[in-house]
């Protein structure tokens, strides 16, 4: 599982470091490839095995459901496979960086089965919004049966 939050900078070639803790999780799963896609104003990075499960589930969604068609179109059309290099970095294609307004500073965070890569300014906005909505979030989480 991926957890924690780390701040990095994108280098001139569009590469960002994968946190050592996350590399260890991937190594333990025999994974060296991540699949990147744009979702929720950030980049989601999935280990390849988790991505394959998502693809299987998505392929079972009904073609007659417009929301399912739109979700698949949005989520899978921006997907790209990337390998972790010897220095522990991944290359984020310019198109994806543009989609989520990543310029230089990023926040890389673990979200259980995937990694999220946020433009730092967007993460600061999201973090503030989460703090401002703590009570409402707590009520929704309780309804889901997590706590």
- 23-77 pLDDT, tens digit each: 999 999 999 999 999 999 999 999 999 999 999 999 999 999 999 999 999 999 9
pLDDT over 90 (residue 118):
yes
pLDDT over 90 (residue 122):
yes
Q: Is 62 helix (H, G, I), strand (E, B) or coil?
A: coil
According to DSSP, the residues that pair with 81 across neighbouring strands are: 35
pLDDT at 6: 98
Domain that holds residue 73: 5-119
pLDDT at 90: 98
For residue 144, tell me if it sits in a domain.
no
For residue 135, tell me if it sits in a domain.
no
Sequence-distant contacts of 30-35: CB under 8 A, at least 24 apart: 32/83, 32/84, 33/81, 33/82, 33/83, 33/84, 34/81, 34/82, 34/83, 34/84, 34/90, 34/115, 35/79, 35/80, 35/81, 35/82
102 pLDDT band, cuts 50/70/90, is very high
Work out the percent of the chain whose per-residue pLDDT is above 70.
100
Work out the percent of the chain whose per-residue pLDDT is above 90.
93
For residue 112, tell me if it sits in a domain.
yes
DSSP label of 119: E
For residue 138, tell me if it sits in a domain.
no
For residue 15, tell me if it sits in a domain.
yes
* Mean pLDDT, the chain, integer: 96
Could you tell me the CATH number of the domain that includes residue 33?
3.40.1550.20
Tell me how many domains the chain contains.
1
pLDDT over 90 (residue 147):
no
For residue 36, tell me if it sits in a domain.
yes
- In DSSP notation, 68-109 reads HHHHHHHHHHT-EEEE--TTSEEE--HHHHHHTT-SSEEEEE
- Mean pLDDT in residue range 112-135: 96
For residue 90, tell me if it sits in a domain.
yes
For residue 130, tell me if it sits in a domain.
no
């Amino acid at each position: 599982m991926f957890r924690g939050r780390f701040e990095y900078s994108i280098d001139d070639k569009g590469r960002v470091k994968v946190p050592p803790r996350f590399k260890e999780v991937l190594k333990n799963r025999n994974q060296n490839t991540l699949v990147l896609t744009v979702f929720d104003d950030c980049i989601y990075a999935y280990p390849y095995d988790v991505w394959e499960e998502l693809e299987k589930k998505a392929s079972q969604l009904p073609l007659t459901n417009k929301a399912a068609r739109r979700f698949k179109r949005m989520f899978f059309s921006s997907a790209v496979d990337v390998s972790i290099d010897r220095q522990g970095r991944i290359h984020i294609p310019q198109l994806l960086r543009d989609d989520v307004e990543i310029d230089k500073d990023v926040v890389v965070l673990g979200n259980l089965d995937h990694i999220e890569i946020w433009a730092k300014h967007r993460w600061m906005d999201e973090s503030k919004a989460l703090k401002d909505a703590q009570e409402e979030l707590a009520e929704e989480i309780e309804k889901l049966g997590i706590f």
